[in-house]
Structure 1
Amino acid sequence: MGNPLSSGNDLNVGIIGCGKIVEQYLTNFRRLESINLVAVSDLDSSRAQAVADSYDGVRAVSVEELLAANDIDLVLNLTIPAAHAEIALKAIAAGKSVYGEKPLAATTSEARQVLEAARTAGVVVGCAPDTVLGTGIQTARKAIDDGLIGAPVSATATMATPGHERWHPNPDFYYQPGGGPLLDMGPYYVSALVTLLGPVVSVVGAASHTRNERTIGSGPREGQQVPVAIDSHVTGVLVHASGALSTLFMSFDAVKTKSPNIEIHGEKGSLVVPDPNHFDGEVQLFALGAEDWETLPVSAGYVDSGRGFGIADLATTPAGQEPRAGGELAFHALEVMESVLESATSGKAVSIGSTAHRPAVVPLTELATAVRA
């Protein structure tokens, strides 16, 4: 399938969902000459109007009006995860391409419907996280491709926090089905591991939780108890098609980790990879026979990037190629995470039915040039 967005013209974007995350996209859209924000919508019309008032040339409209608009090429879906599939399917039915916040959908069943509908309609699907396109993950990826660690053998990916209720005023979602540390933060880590090491063919998982209630630590509900209905600590082993093994450690029960967020180990060296929830950061190499860690020069990725760069990258994807932050990778990451949780319940290894092309390296690129009001 060709890319209906790669015409060389500016990409006209409409946003559905104007919650807190929208500010990060707006900041970067002002810096990206190829992105033309046209309209915004939210169930709370005052939030949409506030965005429109802050951004020149943008109109606040209803969801129905935005989907029907002829001057919008792509819908940026920033609704809650439970609504991701519904909004994506409506946008696709209206003939528009879609880029969504993670996850692609609440379940792989819903996500499959989105991809099938887009394929039939001939439109493009992209999905966060686009952190994998920044200089941090991309410099590490180039180091692997350049053979600096030899054949990759294993990886570890670690996320430890005592729980979002300590800072989030309404943390209930994180402790209900569909929440938890893996589904919340796992997209960053799994997408990075697939970008670095390629697709996953099977997983084994285990999970636990330390307590049945959490205490809200801030905001108007401070001191209230939140019930815990999910496992708040998840560990998984991912078997990559390459033979490399990755170990996931995702926890709302641990206090802190001193270890790096991701380490990649190969026959000739080891890499420290920066936080996959960030776009930049130092990549360090310890080569076989070396005496100390070496910080590698930035060598790949979008310089000074942020949320929204995945949309600009998607618009330049050559016809017939899957976008780097595309629906295929997002679906594969979602299936991997669902399967880790399934394995934790069943006690058995789970095969992964989907696959994803290991996205091409992003050449070192300064993409952001404009600053708009």
Structure 2
Amino acid sequence: MGDTMTGDGVLRVGVVGAGNISGAYFTTFPRLANLRVTAIADLDADRAAAAAAGLPGVRAATPDELYAADDVDLVLNLTVPAAHADVAHAAIAAGKHVYGEKPLASTTAEAGALLAAADRAGVRVGCAPDTVLGTGVQTARAALDAGQIGAPVAATAFMVTPGHERWHPDPEFYYRPGGGPLLDMGPYYLTALITLLGPVRRVVGMSSTPRPVRTIGSGPRAGTAFTAEVATHVTGVLEHASGALSTLVMSFEVWAGALPRIEVYGTAGSLSVPDPNGFDGEVRIFRSGAKEWEPVPEQGGYQNASRGYGVSDLARSIARGVPHRADGRLAYHVLDVMESLLAAARTGDSMSILSTCERPAAVPAGASPELH
């Protein structure tokens, strides 16, 4: 890998895409000593200039200027999903590492080409979500790895909501190809399941669109109806390479449900895992022979983590010459699982997952992404 960064171990970051999500990264980065933002680009030059003006020492640039800049080691790709692959290819062609918001690309074909280009260029690819690096999922992982519920047998993962049109003023993109509950929220849940239980080798699934006509509920277009072009309720079973079976439900069709976010069931107990769309939260355990659930003390993960810790983890990994955790191949495998689950729902067949990935290294308790 081309592990370029400054002599003091700081990774210089150029950000492409100055939309809403960029603010979360800009809030986090100042407290991560191994990252420094140097430039911001956006198709809207005024938006890039406004974002740069609020960050000392950061300049606005065009995308092409940013890719070519000598003081950019990594391109942080915060564009819309349809542009993820194009931006990543441009950065890789310029010899830059890339870290992007999920998904890695719109399809596995695009994502595979991106990873192959990075391999040829000798640069690293990272991808959100990095929520799994926080204390919530990592404490659950530590409990599993320590055998506290015996051998994992199965898991459940539920993300249910009536739909984003209730609150989003322009929600149509959630209901077009590339959207839907699985592709929108699935990366958080699947990345957590793979972090906990390892890669997936086979899936079966079913899907439906019981309410194809949706109505915008807020904003200037409230009352406007539109048609859902994708499945709005997806359910499936994932067979992990370990043999564990995960049941997944992702839905824009459920008004209320007393369902867990993620639970893992073992031969000697059960584990309750907090919302994988967050970095922390309480982990609970029910041990065989117990009468009630008990909280699990914090046992792993980056404390007080927030969006961007995956970039810092990547910078640390470059400095140490070790694999980074929010890895492009993990993101590719997640995308492959989602595509295969939707294909299984269309055909009624089980689908073998041709890709795999390494289970990312655990984050030790009390670790810092800059130091450990």
TM bucket, shorter chain: over 0.9
Unpaired stretches in structure 2, ≥5 consecutive residues: none
1:243-280 per-residue CA deviation (whole Å, 9 max, x = no partner) reads 00001100000112222200000001100000000000
User: How is 1:268-279 mapped onto 2 (pairs within 5 angstroms)?
Assistant: 268-279=268-279
Percent sequence identity is: 59
> Deviation at 1:236?
1.0
Q: Which residue of 1 aligns with 2:163?
A: 163
Q: Which residue of 1 aligns with 2:348?
A: 347
Q: Does residue 357 of the first structure (1) align with residue 358 of the second (2)?
A: yes
User: How is 1:192-231 mapped onto 2 (pairs within 5 angstroms)?
Assistant: 192-231=192-231
Q: Does residue 150 of the first structure (1) align with residue 150 of the second (2)?
A: yes
Looking at structure 2, the residues matched to 320 and 349 of structure 1 have their Cα atoms a distance apart, in angstroms, of: 39
Question: Counterpart of 2:65 in structure 1: which amino acid?
Answer: E
Looking at structure 2, the residues matched to 274 and 8 of structure 1 have their Cα atoms a distance apart, in angstroms, of: 37
CA contact (8 A) 2:207 2:232 kept: yes
User: How is 1:47-66 mapped onto 2 (pairs within 5 angstroms)?
Assistant: 47-66=47-66
> Deviation at 1:37?
0.5
Looking at structure 1, the residues matched to 6 and 168 of structure 2 have their Cα atoms a distance apart, in angstroms, of: 39
Looking at structure 1, the residues matched to 339 and 29 of structure 2 have their Cα atoms a distance apart, in angstroms, of: 32
After the TM superposition, which of the residue ranges 3-12 and 276-285 deviates more from structure 2?
Answer: 3-12
1:81-112 per-residue CA deviation (whole Å, 9 max, x = no partner) reads 11100000000000000000000000000000
Looking at structure 2, the residues matched to 104 and 8 of structure 1 have their Cα atoms a distance apart, in angstroms, of: 29
> Deviation at 1:139?
0.2
Question: Counterpart of 2:272 in structure 1: which amino acid?
Answer: V
Q: Which residue of 2 aligns with 1:307?
A: 307
CA contact (8 A) 1:11 1:34 kept: yes
Question: Counterpart of 1:244 in structure 2: which amino acid?
Answer: A
User: How is 1:6-85 mapped onto 2 (pairs within 5 angstroms)?
Assistant: 9-85=9-85
1:49-84 per-residue CA deviation (whole Å, 9 max, x = no partner) reads 111111111101110110110100000000011110
1:292-315 per-residue CA deviation (whole Å, 9 max, x = no partner) reads 111011110000001100000011
1:93-150 per-residue CA deviation (whole Å, 9 max, x = no partner) reads 0000000000000000000011000000000000000000000000000000000011
Question: Counterpart of 1:350 in structure 2: which amino acid?
Answer: M
CA contact (8 A) 1:6 1:317 kept: no
Question: Counterpart of 2:243 in structure 1: which amino acid?
Answer: G
Q: Does residue 133 of the first structure (1) align with residue 152 of the second (2)?
A: no
TM-score (norm 1): 0.96
Looking at structure 1, the residues matched to 62 and 305 of structure 2 have their Cα atoms a distance apart, in angstroms, of: 30
CA contact (8 A) 2:67 2:90 kept: yes
Q: Which residue of 2 aligns with 1:291?
A: 291
Question: Counterpart of 1:315 in structure 2: which amino acid?
Answer: A
Question: Counterpart of 2:269 in structure 1: which amino acid?
Answer: G
TM-score (norm 2): 0.97
Choose between structure 1 and 2 for higher RCO, CA contacts under 8 A separated by at least 6 residues.
1
> Deviation at 1:366?
5.5
Looking at structure 1, the residues matched to 203 and 240 of structure 2 have their Cα atoms a distance apart, in angstroms, of: 9
Q: Does residue 336 of the first structure (1) align with residue 365 of the second (2)?
A: no
> What is the number of equivalent residue pairs in this alignment?
369
- SS for the counterpart of 1:30 is helix
